[in-house]
Amino acid sequence: MIDLVVPRDMNWRNEVLSGLTVALALVPEAIAFAFVAGVDPSVGLWAAFFVGFITSLLGGRPGMISGATGAMAVVMTAFTVLYGLEFLFAAVILCGVIQIVSGLLGVAKFVHLLPHTVMLGFVNGLAIVIGLAQFKQLQSGHTVQFNPVTQGFDIVGQWISGVELLVTATIIAVTMAIIHFLPKFTKAVPGTLVAIVAVTLLVQFTPITSVTVNQSVDQMKVVAAEKVEKSRLFEIEKQSLAFSEIDSLGHAIAERRVDTTKAVNQNEASRIAGHFAIPAIPFTFGSLSIVFGLAVTLAAIGLIESLMTLTLIDELTESKGSGKREAIAQGTANIVSGLFGSMGGCAMIGQSMINIRSGGRHRLSGITAAIFLLAFILIPPLWNCIGLIPVASLIGVMFVVVIATFEWTTLRLWNKIPRSDMAVIVAVSSITVIFDLAIAVAAGVAISALVFACKSSQQIQVEIFEEGGAKTYELKGDLFFGAVTTFREIFTPQDDPDLVYIEFKMTRVCDHSALEAINVVCAKYRALKKTVILTNLSADCQTLINKAKPIMDVTIGEHDLHTPA
């Protein structure tokens, strides 16, 4: 449901200016992620518009910005080369369907089960990824080189130096200084917007020279087209070669001159980005199997990044968003993106932080950002103005975002929290940088679960006493898969009397592993012609054992427990 009521506390000027600031920051990001995915820049720009507009209008977190993201783009690269744009658009549509179904099933609520250490690792990892991406902008003279490890082609540049590096560093520093100090004098306009405009005017009306957005896009278009064409040739020619000859072919193609006007991402598109059309793929089981794997991966990455960003913005704004509503909105946005020839996306933590810092708290800021972005796409004079912005200025903006995003308190937690928790933070951050967010979060949850299981397995305790010729084992703690080994080691069937009671008043039986452990212990006593009685089981434990009666042979009874003083 769309919120039709305008909040009384909304500052219209802040919302609109914040939206403009976000739109300016979205342009280079969308273009860069389009290059990462191996598609034309227009595919990324239209994705930023559709995803940003729909999620701002329908999403569960006012103030959160969505668009084309690097986390999703990196998993599209090889797929685009192998199958083309139409299959990519179909995968984006199916990704949206999966996200909507996930939202309706309430999958979003599980994000609240993620440990805080995983959240810290997520935030720090994304901050590092955003920061490293900015350093890549400090390169020039890009060429396409073959990577024998990935069996693919990478775009590699040379680090700038000398006067060019000095000018770039100065522009970055001036941008960051304006953003930091301007709010101390006035909050009438966002410091980020003032910094971008001021630095752009400085470069345009002084002898200072710096690479602009237009120049960067033109340069990357050429090298990206070269990468796609060389990747296409490599996939064709390697089919007839032995495995040992593939690396030599890759290096040879990297050195080869190719006609970039016939690049795959130009030729295979059956439509122009922003125009409605059903993906031109065969509607067969084979086609579905091709797109299904990518769709599931995109849906998982998109949901995890969006829901965790939503949680972060909730904490910053001390308000509550709806994960279910956000998942459905993200899915709807991706379906529309795929139908209109764009690459889809999810929440963007960097742009969301820019929006929050610039005063954007409501839906209007996100909607305004999307509308400004659409105007940049459709109105050539506006696009020409955006193209004049120095790339170094936008790097400065993103460096401020990195500083604001990184949880610096993490550095003070060293030796103040359990080592296992610090290991989770470091692991999630590292895996986010090396691989991707979905793998990092899954690894973080797995590590946390294993640590918890290990600690809990050591917490099951027992008090043993004998009375009236019977022996009683009084258990304390949860009995589950991680504690069964300790549980089995407690009992000494050979030395025990003929009657043994196992007291469960302070113990909860949790899973099948626990049931099997109980069954094994009882079987050992029966083999020695001794009787074991399980006493004081809770109602849910008795229900669990009753259901498992066909595979268990145990005796449940009552026993007056008289613990000696």
Q: How many domains does the chain have?
A: 2
If you ran DSSP here, which 8-state letter would residue 113 be given?
G
What is the residue range of 486's domain? 458-557
Residues 372 and 521 occupy one common structural domain: no
Does any domain span residue 543?
yes
Task: Count Cβ atoms below 10 Å from residue 352 Cβ, excluding itself.
Answer: 25
Please give the mean pLDDT across all residues of the chain. Answer: 86
Does any domain span residue 248?
yes
Does any domain span residue 447?
no
pLDDT tens column, 51-60:
999 999 999 9
Q: What's the confidence (pLDDT) of residue 565?
A: 39
Does any domain span residue 434?
no
Answer whether residue 564 shows pLDDT above 80: no
Enter the tokens of residue 470.
């019977």
Q: If you average pLDDT over residues 278-294, what whole number do you get?
A: 90
CA contacts within 13 A on the Cβ side of 238? 19
Q: What's the confidence (pLDDT) of residue 206?
A: 92
Does any domain span residue 257?
yes
Does any domain span residue 538?
yes
Tell which of 405, 440, 475 closes a domain.
405
Q: Degrees (nearest 5) of the Cα angle 424, 309, 302?
A: 90
3-state secondary structure labels for all residues of 251-296? HHHHHCCCCHHHCHHHHCCCCCCCCCCCCCCCCCHHHHHHHHHHHH
Can you give the pTM of this predicted structure?
A: 0.74
Q: Which domain CATH number covers 498?
A: 3.30.750.24
Q: What's the confidence (pLDDT) of residue 524?
A: 93
Residues 491 and 363 occupy one common structural domain: no
Answer whether 500's CB lies under 8 Å from 473's CB. yes
Does any domain span residue 162?
yes
Q: If you average pLDDT over residues 22-37, what whole number do you get?
A: 80
Does any domain span residue 35?
yes
